[in-house]
């Protein structure tokens, strides 16, 4: 599991099983979401088949995304990218 924290946000990334992974984020959703959406082409190019985004009803800035990937090795390479 990979974790990153800054003054503005905290996130964790990990693998569930097979070709599924998750990203847990606590950030300013209004600022984060457009950046995430703009990166969809990059995710697709690296094998993402899409995902599901869940927001905490009590804290809308806390969310979890479940991703589905075509290829486990491409997923690993993407997850280790410094561009994320």
Question: How far apart (Å, rounded) are the C-alpha atoms in residues 41 and 77?
Answer: 16
Would the pTM of this model clear 0.75, i.e. be above it?
no
Which residue has tokens 């099983």?
Answer: 17
Of 8, 3, 19, nearest to 72 by C-alpha is: 19
DSSP characters over 45-81: HTTEEEEEEEE-SS-TTEEEEEEEES-HHHHHHHHT-
- Identify the domain containing residue 9 by its residue range: 2-79
In a domain, 84, yes or no: no
- Span 51-66, average pLDDT: 90
In a domain, 62, yes or no: yes
In a domain, 63, yes or no: yes
CATH number for the domain that contains residue 45: 3.30.70
Number of compact structural domains in the chain: 1
- Predicted confidence band of residue 4 (pLDDT cuts 50, 70, 90): very low
Question: How far apart (Å, rounded) are the C-alpha atoms in residues 65 and 40?
Answer: 13
In a domain, 57, yes or no: yes
Q: What pLDDT score was predicted for residue 38? A: 92
């Amino acid at each position: 599991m990979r974790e990153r924290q800054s003054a503005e946000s905290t996130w964790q990334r990990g693998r569930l099983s097979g070709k599924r992974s998750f990203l847990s984020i606590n950030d300013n959703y209004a600022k984060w979401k457009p950046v995430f959406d703009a990166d969809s082409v990059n995710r697709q190019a690296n094998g993402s088949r899409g995902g599901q985004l869940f927001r905490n009803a009590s804290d809308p800035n806390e969310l979890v995304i479940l991703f589905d990937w075509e290829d486990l090795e491409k997923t690993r390479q993407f997850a280790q990218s410094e561009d994320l």
